[in-house]
Amino acid sequence: MERKYIREVKAGESVFLQGWIYELRILSKMAFILLRDSSGMIQCIIKDKELMKKISELTLESVVEIYGKVKKANVKAEFARDDLEIEVTDWTLISKADKLPIHLNEKTTTTSFSKRLDYRFLDVRKPKVYAIFKIESTIMQAYREFMINEGAMEAVFPSIISASSEGGTELYALKYFEKKAFLSQSCQLYKQMLVCSAEKVFTIFTVWRAEKHNTSRHLNEARQLDFEMAFADEFTVMDIMAKAVQYIIKKVMEKNKEELELLGVKLKVPKVKYLTFEEANKILKKNNIKTETKDITLEGEKKFGELFLDTIVFVHDWPIKGKPFYIMPKGDGLSHGFDAIYKGMEITSGGQRVHIPEILEKQLRERDLDPKNFKSYIDSFRFGAPPHAGWGLGLERLTMLILGISNIREVTLFPRDRERLTP
Residues of this chain that bind ligand ATP (CB under 6 A): 209, 218-219, 222, 224, 346-349, 392, 394, 396-397, 408
Shortest Å distance, C-beta 339 to Mg ion:
6
Indicate which of Mg ion, ligand ATP, none lies near residue 412 (CB less than 5 to 8 Å, by partner kind). none
> Could you tell me if residue 279 is left (phi over 0), alpha (psi between -120 and 50 degrees) or otherwise beta?
alpha
Of the pair 68, 324, the CB lying nearest Mg ion is at 324
Of the pair 61, 228, the CB lying nearest ligand ATP is at 228
Indicate which of ligand ATP, Mg ion, none lies near residue 361 (CB less than 5 to 8 Å, by partner kind). none
CA distance 43 to 307: 46
CA distance 315 to 322: 12
Of the pair 111, 188, the CB lying nearest Mg ion is at 188
Of the pair 319, 392, the CB lying nearest ligand ATP is at 392
Span near Mg ion by CB under 5 A; candidates 2-10, 266-274, 349-357, 400-408? 349-357
Q: Which residue is nearest to ligand ATP (CB)?
A: 394
Total residues at interface with Mg ion (CB under 5 A): 1
Site for Mg ion contains 185 (CB under 5 A): no
Site for Mg ion contains 349 (CB under 5 A): yes
Shortest Å distance, C-beta 347 to ligand ATP:
5
Of the pair 203, 349, the CB lying nearest Mg ion is at 349
Of the pair 60, 284, the CB lying nearest ligand ATP is at 284
Site for Mg ion contains 399 (CB under 5 A): no
Label each residue of the chain as H, E or C.
CCEECHHHCCCCCEEEEEEEEEEEEECCCCEEEEEEECCEEEEEEECCHHHHHCHHHCCCCCEEEEEEEEEECCCCCCCEEEEEEEEEEEEEEEECCCCCCCCCCCCCCCCCHHHHHHCHHHHCCCHHHHHHHHHHHHHHHHHHHHHHHCCCEECCCCCEECCCCCCCCCCCEEEECCEEEEECCCCHHHHHHHHHHHCEEEEEEEEECCCCCCCCCCCCEEEEEEEEEECCCHHHHHHHHHHHHHHHHHHHHHHCHHHHHHCCCCCCCCEEEEEEHHHHHHHHHHCCCCCCCCCCCHHHHHHHHHHCCCEEEEEECCEHHHCCCCECEEECCEECEEEEEECCEEEEEEEEECCCHHHHHHHHHHCCCCHHHHHHHHHCCCCCCCCEEEEEEEHHHHHHHHHCCCCHHHHCCCCCCCCCCCC
Indicate which of ligand ATP, Mg ion, none lies near residue 209 (CB less than 5 to 8 Å, by partner kind). ligand ATP
Shortest Å distance, C-beta 334 to ligand ATP:
18
Span near Mg ion by CB under 5 A; candidates 233-241, 341-349, 362-370, 373-381? 341-349
Indicate which of Mg ion, ligand ATP, none lies near residue 394 (CB less than 5 to 8 Å, by partner kind). ligand ATP
Of the pair 17, 393, the CB lying nearest Mg ion is at 393
395-403 and 127-149 helices, crossing angle to 10° = 120
Site for Mg ion contains 224 (CB under 5 A): no
Indicate the residue type of 212. Answer: K
Shortest Å distance, C-beta 200 to ligand ATP:
19
Shortest Å distance, C-beta 2 to Mg ion:
51
Of the pair 69, 217, the CB lying nearest Mg ion is at 217
Q: Which residue is nearest to Mg ion (CB)?
A: 349
Site for Mg ion contains 311 (CB under 5 A): no
Of the pair 164, 348, the CB lying nearest Mg ion is at 348
CA distance 311 to 187: 27
Indicate which of ligand ATP, Mg ion, none lies near residue 9 (CB less than 5 to 8 Å, by partner kind). none
**Other beta carbons within 10 Å of 407:** 13
Span near Mg ion by CB under 5 A; candidates 127-135, 167-175, 237-245, 342-350? 342-350
Shortest Å distance, C-beta 187 to ligand ATP:
11
Binding site for Mg ion (CB under 5 A): 349
